[in-house]
Structure formats: structure tokens, C-alpha cells
A and B are shown apart, each in its own frame.
Chain A
Amino acid sequence: MAGIESAPDYPKVADERVRVWVVDDQASFRRATAATVAATEDFAMGGDCETGESAIELIPDGSAGIVLMDIHMPGMGGIEATRRIRAAHPDLIVLLTSTYDVEDLPLEVADCGAEAYLHKEDLSPELLSRIWRTTH
């Protein structure tokens, strides 16, 4: 199980770039997120996790930035993980992700503390910037 992986994949940056964490059991989407973040000027990968449990454990205290949280994962799943991460890190913005249509999502997505729902297909550098600007 992958924890938060710092160097060498995601070199620590001293500047003010916004950290992005991706929590997803699918390696392909974690890879796509890393590539998207790498294509931006303003964002840097904070790390990636395979499960909600490992995300709760490994995101450092006082972190700020964006978490891309898959809804459907083995274990506690993205919704419960979002609830706990938001409680522990109020400064983190959690975006729920999946490949389902909005109307097919579980009802709990509304009140788990997530900022928005992002269809995985729509992930792009522009969208990340837009979300960050809208929320700050």
C-alpha cells in the first residue's frame, strides 16, 4: 500500500505552490493527477494514497491545499474519509471524484464536507486553478 510518497516522485518545494493530494485506489488516475499537477505552475503534489484510511493517517497536520478524493474505494470509502479529513484539517479543500454521473452518487456526498464533485474526466490544470481561485 502506498503511503504519502514524497521524494523522489514529488520533490518538496520551498515556494508557495498549492499542495494537491490524490486519494484513489486506481493507479491510473493517481498517475493522471500527478501529470496534471506537474503541468501547472501553481500546484505541486503533496502525495498520493490508495485508501481513505491511509490518507487520514498520512496527511500531515496543518496541511492546506486540495485533496482529490475518490468516492468508491475499498475500506471506509471517500465520503467517510472526507468527513474525517475535513474535521482534522479544516484548511484542506476536498473534491470528491468518481466516474459516475451526479445523479448516481450516494446521497451522503452532500453533507460530508466536500467542496465540490469533480468528474474524473474533467480534471485539468485549468480546472484546478479555477477551483483554487473560487475557494480563496
Chain B
Amino acid sequence: MANDPLSPTTTAESVPYWRVPKVLLDAAVRSSSLLGHDLIHRFTVERFQLFLAGYFAMYFGAGVVLSLWQYVCFLRSAWFLAIAAICTAQCLVLAVALALARRGRYQQSITLACIGNWIAVFLITFVAPNLLPAMVLAALVPVVFAQPYMRWQRGLVFAVITAGCVLALASVARFQHFAQFATPPPRWIEHAFIIIALPMNAFHILVIAWNNAAALAVSESMLAERAAEVEASRGRLVTAADEERRRLERDLHDGAQQHLVALAVLIQLARSAEQGKYQPLLTEASGLLENAIAEIRRLAHGIYPPSLVSGGLPQAVSAVAAHAPIPIQLDLKDLGRYPASIEAALYFCCSEALQNAIKHGGPGTAVTITGHADGQTLTLTISDTGRGFEPATTGTGLTNMTDRVSAIGGKLTIDTAPGEGTRVTAVVESAAQPNSDSSAKDGLSSGLMPSRN
């Protein structure tokens, strides 16, 4: 997207002048259309040129043609000729502005149109003070149109100049008597002009304002849609990554580890069967194999803990806590089963926070992990009594935790200060899923169960 909103890269399509009567209607409908005319489209060439062409048509029709027609048909007053001359000059200015716009020089174009307009309305009011109300409204039109396209400083300057212009219009209409130089037109022509021009100009301004607001509303809703899309795709990415981790874990378990385990059994058999010269070699091979199996198990567990699948957060977090080298107090009674993406995100947060406490907490650090669920919200708090850190110095680990929780629509808060310990709180909207009783496994015969730590 262009940095300068008034510099679209596409070349201007010229607008045929016979379309000019459709200008306001087109401009009004287009940018509020749901067919993709959002804020970005408002900056496109077409709308800008339509506005200028329409504005040109107004000056040309109401200022030049109407005045000359009145001069020819009703009254040969210099008053009409003066207005026609001023409007012709403004038409020329607008024509130049249109040409500038077609060359893509939008800032100059709008500036020229505004300056020309300020001068034109001032001169018309000078010549015909009775037209003040219509001219005040006409003074506002280009600036109202251009405001959304300008940087705010420039917009402010233009607004102040316009206010000054209106002040000048009022003063000149009130205090100058120069207009007496020509025969004034009949009162009814003045009345008719004011009565028609006033509501038309007011309507013009209102349409522009409504049009800008409608375009803004459309672009807001499109932005919201895009934000929702981005959020959904982030969630899908995280889920896909989790699934990939799970698959890797299964591959390690079902592939390499299975063969190694079978090999271990066979080597064990060979060791017990033959008391020969190869015994030391077999013993060494057995030791290496045990290490390899332990390493693969550790690796697979780190990639995706199987207990997260089988027993959810309470089981997986308890397993991590059981192997941690620092004291950990658990309170996870409240927790049930949740969608896999939520369980994975919270588990990895928990394990990351725990790793941080172990690595950076210092001697004597203790950790408390608390899970709380109230049917709608799931809150997991990991607090340690370690050294804490300056909250501004967040490392990648903490950023990953924050991203992971926010990808599932949750919020992570890190509460810490040097010497104060660290408290990481993850809050996720989620209702628990029904699951089986988690204490059932204790019933399995343990007498024969080899312990494996």
C-alpha cells in the first residue's frame, strides 16, 4: 500500500464529461458498496476525478451557464457578467486541477482546487453579498472532501484557512458597498438562486461527509474481517505445528525406539546365554543401547509428551514436575480435559516457565503450579520464588509463550521484578470436555510393573 494515500500507482482512467450528472450519486454509492470498495479504493483515481469533474460541473453550470443565460434572457446586468467571469476562472483552475490529477499529482491538484475555491467564493460574495449563505457552504466543499486524504497537519492548515475564508466572506458581505456598481438583479432571481443553491450545497457537503463515513465503516469491517482471518490462520498454524510434533514423537517411538528395544532384548539374551570372550563387548553394547533408548525417549518426550494425549494437563504437568530438580507444588484438581490445542499451548507454557525457573531462578527456588477452571475460563498460574527479572527484558522464551497462548485466543500475563520471583498466568476461554476418571491407572498391578525413571 502506498505511503502517500494520494499517490495511487494506477494510471487515471479519464472520466467522460457526460457522466458528470452521475458524479455525486456514483461517489456516494461506490465507496459504501460491499463489493470491495474499502478505504483503499477511496484513494483511487476514479473517485478523486469524479469529485473534481462534478465540482467543475457545478461551477460551470450554476456559475457560468446560468449567469450568462440570465444575462441574455432577463437582465443585461454587469452583475451576471462578473459572476460568470469569476466562475469561468474557477472552472479553469478546476480544469488544471483535473489535469494534475490525471498526471497523478493529487496533492497539488487538491491544493489548487481549494485555493481557487477560496478565492472564487470570496470574489462572488464581494460582488453579490446576498449570496453569502450559499457561498459559505461552497467554501467548505473541497476541504470536506479532501480531509480524509491529507496528512493531519495539512488538514488542520486547510481547515483554519477555510474558517478564515468564511470569516472574510461574512465581513465582506456585511461591510462592503462596492456591489452597488451595477444594476442589481431582480429580487426574485436572488431569492430563487439562494433557495436552490443553499440546499444543494448543503446536500453536497452532507453526501461527501456520509460518503467518507460509509467508506470508513466499510474499511473498518474489512479490517476486522482480515484480523479475524489472520487470527484463524494463526490458530491453524499452531494446531498444524502441534500435530506435526505429535507425529514426530510417534515416529520416534514406533520407529527407531522399537528396533533398539528389540535389539536390547536380544543382546540381553546373548549376554545371559553365553559366558564367553564376547561378554565384555556385549555388556558395552548393552550400555550404549540403553543410553540410546533413554536419549530417544527424552527427545520424543520433549517433542510432544505422550501423557498430554493420554491424561491431559494434570497428568502431563505432574510428569514434568516429577522429573524436575527443584521442589514443585501442584494444585491441578480443578482441571479436566480441553481441546488439544489448548492443552498443548498451556503445557508448553508451563514447561517453559518451569525451565526458566530451573535455569535462572537461583538456589532454593521453589515453584507452585495452580490450575483453576470455572466452566468458562481456564487459568493456569506458574509462580516461582526465584530471582525474577526486569519485565522489559523479555526473552524469546517468554515471547513464544505469549504468542502461543494468544494463538488460542488466550492471554498471558508475566508478573515479575528483580528479587520478587516470577508469576506467569495464562487465561484461556474454554469449557472442559467430559473425560474418564483420571485416578483409574493406580489400579493396575504394580508388583510386576518395572519402574522406569
Check if B254 sits within 8 Å of A102, measured CB to CB: no
- Of residues A109, A110, A134, which shows the largest number of chain B Cβ atoms within 10 Å of its Cβ? A110
Tell me how far the C-beta of B337 lies from the nearest C-beta in chain A, rounded to whole angstroms. Answer: 11
Q: CA of A9 to CA of B259 in the docked complex: distance in angstroms?
A: 21
Q: Mark B127-167, 1 if CB is under 8 A from A, else 0.
A: 00000000000000000000000000000000000000000
With A39-B273, A124-B265 known, 13 other A-B pairs at CB within 8 A are A26-B254, A28-B259, A32-B263, A72-B253, A99-B258, A99-B293, A101-B453, A103-B319, A115-B445, A116-B445, A118-B449, A120-B265, A134-B448
Q: CA of A130 to CA of B258 in the docked complex: distance in angstroms?
A: 24
- Chain A, range 67-122, C-beta contacts under 8 Å to B: 72, 95, 99-111, 114-122
Check if B448 sits within 8 Å of A107, measured CB to CB: no
In the assembled complex, 10 residue pairs joining A and B whose CB atoms fall closer than 8 Å, in A order, are A28-B258, A31-B262, A39-B269, A102-B452, A103-B319, A104-B310, A107-B436, A108-B436, A110-B440, A124-B268
Q: What residues on B are CB-neighbors of A106 within 8 Å?
A: 309-311
Tell me how far the C-beta of B23 lies from the nearest C-beta in chain A, rounded to whole angstroms. Answer: 70
- Chain B, range 230-270, C-beta contacts under 8 Å to A: 253-254, 257-259, 261-266, 268-269
Q: Does A125 contact B (CB under 8 A)?
A: yes
> Number of contacting residues on B, CB 8 A?
45
Q: Does B438 contact A (CB under 8 A)?
A: yes
Q: Does B96 contact A (CB under 8 A)?
A: no
Q: CA of A31 to CA of B261 in the docked complex: distance in angstroms?
A: 11
- Chain A, range 24-55, C-beta contacts under 8 Å to B: 26, 28-29, 31-33, 35-36, 39
Check if A99 sits within 8 Å of B257, measured CB to CB: yes
Check if A110 sits within 8 Å of B443, measured CB to CB: yes
- Of residues B259, B268, B290, B318, which shows the largest number of chain A Cβ atoms within 10 Å of its Cβ? B268
- Chain A, range 3-22, C-beta contacts under 8 Å to B: none
Q: What residues on B are CB-neighbors of A33 within 8 Å?
A: 265
Decide: A107 near B262, CB < 8 A? Known: A100-B306, A101-B452, A115-B445: no
Q: Please report A residues at the B interface, Cβ cutoff 8 Å.
A: 26, 28-29, 31-33, 35-36, 39, 72, 95, 99-111, 114-125, 130-131, 134
Q: What residues on A are CB-neighbors of B430 within 8 Å?
A: none
Check if B269 sits within 8 Å of A104, measured CB to CB: no
Check if A99 sits within 8 Å of B436, measured CB to CB: no
Q: CA of A29 to CA of B259 in the docked complex: distance in angstroms?
A: 7
Check if B442 sits within 8 Å of A110, measured CB to CB: yes
Check if B272 sits within 8 Å of A101, measured CB to CB: no
* Chain B at the A interface: SS class: helix
One of B261, B272, B322 near A125 (C-beta < 8 A): B272
Q: CA of A100 to CA of B252 in the docked complex: distance in angstroms?
A: 11
Q: Does B281 contact A (CB under 8 A)?
A: no
Check if B450 sits within 8 Å of A118, measured CB to CB: yes
Q: Does B388 contact A (CB under 8 A)?
A: no
Q: What residues on B are CB-neighbors of A32 within 8 Å?
A: 261-263, 265-266
Q: What residues on A are CB-neighbors of B272 within 8 Å?
A: 39, 124-125
Q: Does B444 contact A (CB under 8 A)?
A: yes
Q: CA of A101 to CA of B444 in the docked complex: distance in angstroms?
A: 14
Check if B268 sits within 8 Å of A72, measured CB to CB: no
Q: CA of A39 to CA of B267 in the docked complex: distance in angstroms?
A: 13
Tell me how far the C-beta of A98 lies from the nearest C-beta in chain B, rounded to whole angstroms. Answer: 8
